[in-house]
Amino acid sequence: MLLSSHYDSWHEGITDNATGNALCLALAALFHGQALIRGLRIAFWPGHSNGRYAGSTWYADHYRSHLMHKCIAHINVDSPGCMGGSKLVINASGAESVAWLNQAIIATTGEPADRVTPLGKGADQSFWGLGIPLHFSLREVPEQRQSLSPGSGGGWWWHTEKDTLDKVDENNLWRDFLVYQHWLESLLFEERLPLDALQYLTLMNDALMQLQNEIDPAFSIEPFTSGLPR
């Protein structure tokens, strides 16, 4: 089980990503010494912004075989505990069960996530193509967006010198910690992985159909069977 956050920041970078690093350290302290059925590896990446995920990409390249054979999930922690981050969004790009993802949110807040969406290239997702079945992260969004900022809970201070300690909401940070704790307890102590293969295949099929509708009809993604032996 790979848990990660990035340690390079702009200016003080308290909510991006000192809070994420602190959350990972707290989880390390919580699970240290417990009788886990799976190992927990925590990584802190450099090169997140300037290198566009260079640190996690280097790790994926150099430890490819180990990740392919051993890693069951990658969870990234980025910008938790932000002032104004009242709503929770799950960025999911693997075969994880949506119901399972929401169990941790409901157990913590009483309500499911505001939405569960496929994750684009972000949050140090450098591990696609390695066969790791679970890839997801938690993001915060404001009740009403006050800026066009995509980071730090939608706060206007993202990537500026104003990303200081006063931008942290301790209640939100504790809430986010509990969500990650629930997810990790399931992955580290339970034999069965929370996979939903049918849902994943449906999403893949929908994506392929959308692609087929957008490309030239001469390029077909339909299975090629003509002339092949049965």
Query: What is the number of other CB atoms lying within 10 angstroms of the CB of residue 29?
Result: 9
Q: Determine if the peptide bond prior to 17 is cis (ω within 30°).
A: yes
Q: Return d(Cα 65, Cα 52) in angstroms, integer.
A: 23
Q: DSSP strand E in the chain: where?
A: 2-6, 41-45, 73-76, 87-92, 115-117, 134-141
Q: Which two tokens stand for residue 141?
A: 């969004």
CATH architecture entry for 2-196: 3-Layer(aba) Sandwich (3.40)
CB-facing half-sphere around the CA of 127: CA atoms within 13 A: 33
Q: Distance of CA 162 to CAs 11, 71, 86, 144, 158, Å?
A: 8, 37, 20, 20, 8
Q: What is the pTM of this model?
A: 0.90
**pLDDT value, residue 119:** 65
Specify whether the CB–CB gap between 156 and 171 falls below 8 A.
no
Which has the closest alpha carbon to 78: 4, 141, 10, 11? Answer: 4
**pLDDT value, residue 224:** 63
**pLDDT value, residue 170:** 97
Q: Return d(Cα 102, Cα 115) in angstroms, integer.
A: 10
Q: Return d(Cα 31, Cα 47) in angstroms, integer.
A: 27
Cα dihedral 191, 194, 198, 202 sign: negative
Residue at 219: amino acid letter: F
Query: What is the number of other CB atoms lying within 10 angstroms of the CB of residue 161?
Result: 10
**pLDDT value, residue 151:** 84
**pLDDT value, residue 227:** 57
Q: Return d(Cα 99, Cα 143) in angstroms, integer.
A: 23
Ordered per-residue pLDDT tens for the chain, 230 residues: 999 999 999 999 999 999 999 999 999 999 999 999 999 999 999 999 889 899 999 999 999 999 999 999 999 999 999 999 999 999 998 899 999 999 999 999 999 999 998 766 778 989 988 989 999 999 999 988 878 888 888 899 999 999 999 999 999 999 999 999 999 999 999 999 999 989 888 888 888 888 888 988 888 877 766 555 55
